[in-house]
Structures are given as structure tokens and as C-alpha cells.
Amino acid sequence: MTKYILRRLLTSIPTLILISMAVFAIVALAPGDPLSGLATNPDVPASVRLTILHQMGLDQPLPIRYLKWAESWLLGNWGYSFGSHMAVTRLLLQRLPTDLWVLGSSYLVAVLIAIPIGVISAVRQYSLQDQVATTFAFIGYSLPTFFTGILMIIVFSVKLHWLPFIYNVTVHDPIGVLKQAIMPVAVLALFQSASLTRFVRSSMLDNVALDYVRTARAKGLAQGRVIRRHVLRNSLIPVVTLIALQLPGVFTGAVVTEQIFRVPGIGSLLIASLQNSDTPVLMAIAFVAAILVVLFNLVADVIYGTLDPRIRYG
């Protein structure tokens, strides 16, 4: 097992290097310019603009810039934002807690909704409950999050004045914190639970048809017990794996939702950095996201192996 993990980690290193090169090339070769905002400013002559470019190291050839970036990345220096000149690590750490709280809880809510609904609609396949759940799930991911988000703002903030729609990190009292999180969490949870529900349902259905279930029934076990003790347990293995695979998404944030509710998370940082061509921040976000994806892929495989005795690591 340890050997397997080590081997997987080692083989992912070249993958990560390739990814970093690809991302760096995309970011660096793209048009756009961190100083574009200054171009029409008559107070900034060309010489000053060049000075600023030099301070940012943007006047050097591409391979050099990549090597420099890679070297300092390994040393733990992820560079400084072009806009604020704040260390990128600090910038990310400022935003991570908000994401963990908002996106984390939305994911939790989604899981808590999805499992029972998925189980029920699988056990009573083609029943009314199943049809309703299926329709709910499909509507959940047919509605773009920006649409549900703005709709909720109009109803709950503008018309009813129940909830604030601008996320403010300086709010600390528990009720205030809860109130401002309700809408973003609800929007995200609706979207995420939709696909999870479907996944739980089909995973359950795969298992219901298997021989061991028939055996359990033949032994005379009650339906509820068969479902709970046997089918559910086995069906949740791929579900847990899927959850592990989706977790890195919590880090990259929910770009649209963060934009609508002004949640200061990594997603909104990503958009802002895109607009300002803030290369160091973009690189950091994209690369950390890649590392997390690779890592959680491994985690998913390990979980799968641990939970499912049929899998052996060679």
C-alpha cells in the first residue's frame, strides 16, 4: 500500500511539471498586459511603464521567467501579485477560510440532501418519489447558478429584505454569518446535490441487481435491512470516491456564485486576476488546483481500495 502510494506520487511529478509548463505558457503567451489600465493615463509616460514592467520581471525571455518561477516556487516563494505586491501565499491564505466555510458547507448540505433522496429514488425506482426526485435533480443542474443566484437576490434581498446579498468578512456574530451565507450555500448546494443524487441513485441500482443482494434476500432478511446493511454500504463506495474527486473544486471556488454574492474566495480572486493579467496569482491558483486534483485522485483511489476488498494494489 505504502509502496503503491509512493509510486503514484513519483509518477505524478512529471505530470505536474508538464502541467506547470503548459499553464505558464498559456498565461505568459496570452495577450493582455497588467499595465493596460495605465495605457490611456496621460500621467504615465512610456519610460515609467517600462520601469514598472522591469520591476515585475516581465521584460525577460519566457524560459528564464519559467525557470525563475519554478525555482522560487520550490523554495516556497510563490511570487508577488502585480496589483498589490502582496505575497501570493498571503493573498490565498486570506481567502481560503471563506471558501472552506461557504463552499465546504454547501458541499456538506449537498451530500446530506443527495444521499437520502438518491437512496429513496433507487429503492422505489420509477415510483412517484423517484420521478419527482429525478425531475428535481435535473432542474437543479439545468438552471445555471447565475440565474438562481440573481433570482434569490431579487426575492430575498430586494423584495423581502430578509437576507443581505453582499458577503462581508468583517461580520462575526453567528446570526449575521449564517444569514449572509444562506443564499450562496443554497445556490451551490442545489446545483451540486442534483448530480450527486443521480450518482447515488445509479450506484444503488447497480448493486440492487447483484447476486449478493439476492442471496441476502433469500436468507430471509427484511427489505430495509438488506438495503441498509448491504446495498447502501456497497453503493456508497463509489460515491465517497466521487466526493474525494470533487473536493479540489472547493479550492478553485465557485467562480460564478462568488461573483454574484461578492464572496471573497479564490474564485473571485481568479476572475480579478484574469482581468488584470496578474500572472503570479493566476499561476499559483492554476497550479495549486492541479496539485490538488492529482492528490485527490490518489486519495480517491486509496479510499476505493480500502473500502472495497476486491481491489488489490500491485
Partner 1 sequence: MQGDDVRTMLKDLRNHRLTRRQAAARMGELGLSLVTAWALIDRVTAGPARAAAAVGRGTQGTLKLLYWQAPTILNPHLANGTKDFHAAHVTLESLLHADTAGNLTPVLAAEVPSIANGGVAKDGRSVTYKLKPGVKWADGRPFTSDDVVFTYHYISNKATGATTYGNYDDIVKVEPIDATTVKITFKNPTPFWYRAFVGENGMIVPRHALDPYVGSNSRNAPFNLKAFGTGPYMVDSFRPGDLVTYKINPYYRDPNKPAFSQVQMKGGGDAVSAARAVFETGEYDYAWNLQVEWPVLSHMMGSGRGVLQPEPGGGVECLYLNETDPNKDVDGQRSSLKTKHPFLSDLKVRQALALAVDRQTMATQLYGEAGDPTANLLTTPSKYYSKNTKMAMDLDKANSLLDEAGWKRGPDGVREKNGVKLDVKYVTSVNSLRQKEQQIVKDGWEKLGGRVTLQSVDAGVYFSSSPGNTDTITHFYRDVEMFTDSFDLSPVSYMEQWYSADPAKDIAQKENNWSGQNLVRWQNAEYNKLFDEGVKELDPQKNTQIWIQANDVAVTQVAGIPLINRKSVNARVKNLQTGPNMSAFDDATWNMADWKRVG
Partner 2 sequence: MASTRSNGVARIGALAAPAALERPRYARTLWGDAWRRFRHHRLAMAGAATFLLLTFGCIVGPFVYRMPINAIDFGHSMSPPSAAHPFGTNDLGQDMLARVLYGGRISIAVGFAAMLTSITLGVLVGAVAGFFGGHVDNLLMRITDMFLSFPGLVLLLLIVYLFHDPITRYLGTQVGTFVLIVSVIGILNWMPTARLVRAGFLAVKEKEFVEAARSLGVGPIGQMARHILPNVLSPVIVAGTLSVAAAILLESTLSFLGYGFPPDVPTWGRLLFDAQNYLDLAPHMALFPGIMICLAILSINYVGDGLRDALDPTRVF
Residues that bind partner 1 (CB under 8 A): 31-33, 35-49, 51-52, 55, 80-81, 83-86, 91, 94-95, 153, 157-158, 161, 164-166, 168-170, 259-260, 262, 264, 268-269, 272, 275-277
- Give the C-alpha separation, 257 to 192, whole Å: 13
- Give the C-alpha separation, 199 to 214, whole Å: 22
- What distances in angstroms separate CA 233 from CA 163, 227, 246, 267, 301, one per listed residue? 39, 8, 20, 35, 17
Instruction: State CA 236 to chain mean position distance.
Output: 21
Return the one option of partner 2, partner 1, none that residue 252 interacts with (CB less than 5 to 8 A, by type): partner 2
Which residues lie near partner 2 (CB under 8 A)?
12, 15-16, 18-19, 22-23, 26-27, 30-32, 131, 134, 138-139, 141-147, 150-151, 154, 158, 202, 209, 248-249, 252, 255-256, 259, 270-271, 274, 282, 285-286, 289-290, 292-294, 297
Phi first, then psi, for residue 40 (nearest 5°) are: -90, 0
Looking at beta carbons only, is 39 or 222 nearer to partner 2? 39
- Give the C-alpha separation, 219 to 122, whole Å: 22
Looking at beta carbons only, is 1 or 86 nearer to partner 1? 86
Sign of the C-alpha dihedral computed for residues 200, 201, 207 and 213 taken in this order: positive
Return the one option of partner 1, partner 2, none that residue 83 interacts with (CB less than 5 to 8 A, by type): partner 1
Return the one option of partner 1, partner 2, none that residue 76 interacts with (CB less than 5 to 8 A, by type): none
- What distances in angstroms separate CA 266 from CA 88, 127, 171, 259, one per listed residue? 12, 42, 19, 11
CB 104, min distance to partner 1, A: 19
Return the one option of partner 2, partner 1, none that residue 264 interacts with (CB less than 5 to 8 A, by type): partner 1
- Give the C-alpha separation, 310 to 312, whole Å: 7
Return the one option of partner 2, partner 1, none that residue 203 interacts with (CB less than 5 to 8 A, by type): none
